[in-house]
A and B are shown apart, each in its own frame.
Chain A
Amino acid sequence: MAILELERLSRHFEVRPGFVDRVVRRKPSSYIKAVEALNLTVGHNEILGIAGESGCGKSTTCTMVAGLLAPTGGDIRYKGDSVLDLKGAGLMEYRRRVQMIFQDPYESLNPRFRISEIVAEGPTALSLWDGDEIDERVNAMLNAVGLPHHKYADRYPHELSGGERQRVGIASALVMEPEMVIADEPLSMLDVSIRAGILDLFKDMQSQRHFSAIYVSHDLSILGNVADRLMVMYLGQAMEIGPALEVIRNPKHPYTRALIGAVPVPDPRTRRAIPNIRGDISKPIDPPPGCRFAPRCPHADASCGERFMELDTADPHLHQAACHKLDVINDG
């Protein structure tokens, strides 16, 4: 059974014009449609990767799932029950089980707390264990993310490097022994060697107990390494989903193809292929109707602006792309 289901989840943000435009010119509000009719199922013990353009709605999706932002449409179900009307103790319990690792480690750590206090905050607030055990677990977790507690426990966030801060965020989430982790670019500031160690930590948790994760990253090779399934988004819509390695090796959607084609290789003699998409920048404010990738798609025709295909994500083995023109593309 699925642990998490997103059903036509949407989040729109209103962008109000300036006072003069609004009152004198009666200009209507515009909308940033950050997430649009997103369907997603995450299985027990599954790590689901999300990749996509900067600004395509990954963090917005994460914060909604973590119960920190209300959707403007659709539903989020955890173990079958909607989490949207959770309140009080129920919401607290949900937030303990589902932990979020935030994208920006410069914004998310309380500057007045020492590192040990930051990591101990969650367990202490909920009295998960007695004081000594909390200390022990906090120290063990700091060590596990490569921040030896004798060196780091008493420091403040401003005394840490970017990658060190990022690991404090990881430790704070994992120390809660969550059932599910929503990891938003958790390793973006870490070097490959430390990354490998923390990915092992995720995989250990996954193998030792019921543990699922949504793992957002721009690094497709990490996603290929850690994620069971991969979803690719563009401007709020899901473009493709399937087993991670299959999506990376045989991308179907024109956007995914362009994305994977543009991954640079660590070799100063090779130049990146120029992506086969049209150059216009994407427009999150009042996005085009239908498939939002259509204005940049080399294969698009008028029909693409009319309707968008929603994906059925319940079958974890299915590899699908939200594109009407796959036949044409694959022939050419």
Chain B
Amino acid sequence: MAATTEPVLSIRNLGVAYETSQGPVHAVSDVSFDVGADEVFGIAGESGCGKSTLIRSLLRLLPNNGTMTAERCTYKGRDLMAMSDEAFRSTIQWQEISLVPQSAMASFNPVYRVGDQIIESMRAHRRMGRAEAWERAAGLFDVVGLQADLLRNYPHEFSGGMRQRAMIAMALSLDPGLIIMDEPTTGLDVLVQERILRRIREIRAEIHSAIILITHDIAVIAEMSDRIAIMYGGEIMELAPSVDLFENPHHPYTLGLENAFPSIRNVGKDLISIPGSPPTLVGPVESCPFEPRCPFRIDGCAAANPAVVDVGDGHQVRCLQTGDVARMRTLAREKSTWRS
């Protein structure tokens, strides 16, 4: 599903470092991918692996101690790296690239009504009367399954999932070209989630937006994404079309992750988790970040960070052992393989 037309977003060798008292933390390293027009690009990976950092850097929302570097970062051909903060805020942020942040539940200003905040944001970017904006907001509330009367309520009068949905409505409000959603469904039951994801797919088909979807919910990412990137320790370990990733996984981390997917089909069954803890990311990257926890590591893994290998059909893997994948898959299903 590699995009034939020009990608909406194209990034090469993007890195983010946070300055800390213990030295720089390399939260994101050497990330490269394109998101095609009309594509849903999913990102999954362990807590703390750099997903939110990556997208915060794209939207220039990093905190003061964070710095982003990139060889390339373009939106619809426009070089974002060369753009001033002011130009970025007035032309890209929110109207071209919108965000449902992971902190969506805490993102509304507590002293204003939710509806007012949504229509003010619309009116700040588009010429639109209050009544028209209000009507549009009511339509968006319907999309996310909220009673339109609730537009008059204050954020603290919403449940966690209701605030999250209001934020999704707001991110859809300006028909952006790219919608980034960071854990948009953590507060939603599966029925509401099903409704929203279905409506988002419909809207996307109308307005031709691309989506970057970050979630720990593997079922949601499988359902929504055209391609999926699996991150670990700040890097993309594997990137493939969704079906290919699930049916033909290559990276040992992906194999471990798939073991730990809980499924409603086999509730009560023990899940196999990956022993060990995530890398500290302090200092430069000099080996495969997964090496200390990898049951299939070989001598070369600690010597240098493996290069990305293309195993066919746009399926990329950052691992030295892609040739040995059949054996790794068999072993990865055994609980004993993952004992530390």
* Assembly CA distance A135 to B3 (angstroms): 54
* B105 x A158 contact (CB < 8 A): no
Which candidate, B79-87, B152-160, B313-321, is the interface stretch facing chain A? B152-160
Known contacts A104-B160, A267-B246; is-contact A258 B191 (Cβ 8 Å): yes
CB of A1 to closest CB in B, whole Å: 28
Q: Give the chain A neighbours of B21 by CB distance below 8 A.
A: 154
CB of A298 to closest CB in B, whole Å: 14
Instruction: Check if A326 is an interface residue, CB within 8 A of chain B.
Output: no
* A15 x B153 contact (CB < 8 A): yes
* A54 x B142 contact (CB < 8 A): no
Q: Give the chain A neighbours of B219 by CB distance below 8 A.
A: 263-267
Known contacts A159-B18, A220-B267; is-contact A268 B159 (Cβ 8 Å): no
- 0/1 string, B212-251, CB within 8 A of A gives 1: 0000101110110100000000000000001101100000
Known contacts A151-B280, A189-B102; is-contact A285 B147 (Cβ 8 Å): yes
* A163 x B18 contact (CB < 8 A): no
* B106 x A107 contact (CB < 8 A): yes
Known contacts A15-B157, A106-B105; is-contact A245 B194 (Cβ 8 Å): no
Q: Give the chain A neighbours of B176 by CB distance below 8 A.
A: none
* B165 x A265 contact (CB < 8 A): no
* B273 x A197 contact (CB < 8 A): yes
Q: Give the chain B neighbours of A222 by CB distance below 8 A.
A: 262
Interface size class of B (residues with CB under 8 A): 35 or more
* Assembly CA distance A23 to B188 (angstroms): 37
* Assembly CA distance A148 to B191 (angstroms): 37
Within 8 A of B (CB), among A247-298: 248-249, 258-260, 262-269, 271-272, 275, 277, 279, 281-285
* B187 x A185 contact (CB < 8 A): yes
User: Which of A60, A260, A272 has the most chain B CB within a 10 Å cutoff?
Assistant: A272
Q: Which of A53, A161, A265, A282 meets B48, CB within 8 Å?
A: A161
- 0/1 string, B141-177, CB within 8 A of A gives 1: 0100111011011000111111001000000000000
* A263 x B190 contact (CB < 8 A): yes
* A191 x B47 contact (CB < 8 A): yes
Instruction: Check if A70 is an interface residue, CB within 8 A of chain B.
Output: no
CB of B100 to closest CB in A, whole Å: 13
Within 8 A of B (CB), among A179-200: 185, 188-194, 196-197
CB of B193 to closest CB in A, whole Å: 8
Known contacts A192-B273, A193-B274, A281-B146; is-contact A262 B190 (Cβ 8 Å): yes
* A266 x B190 contact (CB < 8 A): no
Q: Give the chain A neighbours of B112 by CB distance below 8 A.
A: none
Within 8 A of B (CB), among A31-89: 32, 51-55, 58-60
Q: Give the chain B neighbours of A15 by CB distance below 8 A.
A: 153, 157
Q: Give the chain B neighbours of A279 by CB distance below 8 A.
A: 195
Q: Which of A248, A269, A281 meets B264, CB within 8 Å?
A: A248
Instruction: Check if A164 is an interface residue, CB within 8 A of chain B.
Output: yes
Q: Give the chain B neighbours of A320 by CB distance below 8 A.
A: none
Q: Give the chain A neighbours of B225 by CB distance below 8 A.
A: 268
- 0/1 string, A7-27, CB within 8 A of B gives 1: 000000101001000000000
* B260 x A185 contact (CB < 8 A): no
Known contacts A148-B277, A264-B223, A268-B246; is-contact A164 B47 (Cβ 8 Å): yes
Instruction: Check if A316 is an interface residue, CB within 8 A of chain B.
Output: no
Which B-chain residue is minimally distant from A161 (CB atoms)? B48
Instruction: Check if B13 is an interface residue, CB within 8 A of chain A.
Output: no
Known contacts A185-B186, A191-B46; is-contact A225 B261 (Cβ 8 Å): no
Which B-chain residue is minimally distant from A286 (CB atoms)? B149
* A218 x B190 contact (CB < 8 A): yes
Within 8 A of A (CB), among B19-71: 20-22, 44-48, 51-53, 63, 65
* Assembly CA distance A292 to B323 (angstroms): 57
* A106 x B103 contact (CB < 8 A): yes
Within 8 A of B (CB), among A89-141: 103-104, 106-107
Q: Give the chain A neighbours of B20 by CB distance below 8 A.
A: 155, 159
Q: Give the chain A neighbours of B223 by CB distance below 8 A.
A: 264, 268, 271-272
Instruction: Check if B331 is an interface residue, CB within 8 A of chain A.
Output: no
Q: Which of A104, A193, A225, A277 meets B257, CB within 8 Å?
A: A193
Instruction: Check if B256 is an interface residue, CB within 8 A of chain A.
Output: yes
Instruction: Check if A305 is an interface residue, CB within 8 A of chain B.
Output: no
* A196 x B271 contact (CB < 8 A): yes
Instruction: Check if B268 is an interface residue, CB within 8 A of chain A.
Output: yes
* B191 x A277 contact (CB < 8 A): yes
* Assembly CA distance A161 to B195 (angstroms): 28
* B149 x A54 contact (CB < 8 A): no
CB of A254 to closest CB in B, whole Å: 12
* B216 x A189 contact (CB < 8 A): yes
Q: Give the chain B neighbours of A283 by CB distance below 8 A.
A: 147
* B271 x A54 contact (CB < 8 A): no
* A221 x B216 contact (CB < 8 A): no
* Assembly CA distance A103 to B103 (angstroms): 11
* Assembly CA distance A258 to B100 (angstroms): 27
Instruction: Check if B192 is an interface residue, CB within 8 A of chain A.
Output: yes
* A32 x B157 contact (CB < 8 A): yes
Known contacts A196-B273, A266-B222, A268-B246; is-contact A54 B187 (Cβ 8 Å): yes
- Identify the 6 closest CB pairs spanning chains A and B, nearest first: A163-B47, A54-B161, A224-B267, A264-B219, A106-B103, A221-B262
Residues of A at the B interface (CB closer than 8 Å) are 13, 15, 18, 30, 32, 51-55, 58-60, 103-104, 106-107, 146, 148, 151, 154-155, 158-159, 161-164, 167, 185, 188-194, 196-197, 218-222, 224-225, 245, 248-249, 258-260, 262-269, 271-272, 275, 277, 279, 281-285
A-B contact pairs, 10 of them (CB 8 A): A51-B189, A54-B159, A60-B159, A104-B106, A163-B216, A193-B257, A197-B273, A225-B262, A225-B268, A262-B191
Residues of B at the A interface (CB closer than 8 Å) are 18, 20-22, 44-48, 51-53, 63, 65, 102-103, 105-106, 142, 145-147, 149-150, 152-153, 157-162, 165, 182-183, 186-195, 216, 218-220, 222-223, 225, 242-243, 245-246, 256-258, 260-265, 267-268, 271, 273-274, 277, 280
Given contacts A59-B159, A263-B219, list 16 more A-B pairs with CB under 8 A. A54-B159, A54-B165, A106-B105, A155-B20, A163-B47, A191-B257, A193-B273, A193-B274, A194-B47, A218-B189, A221-B264, A225-B262, A265-B219, A266-B222, A277-B191, A285-B149
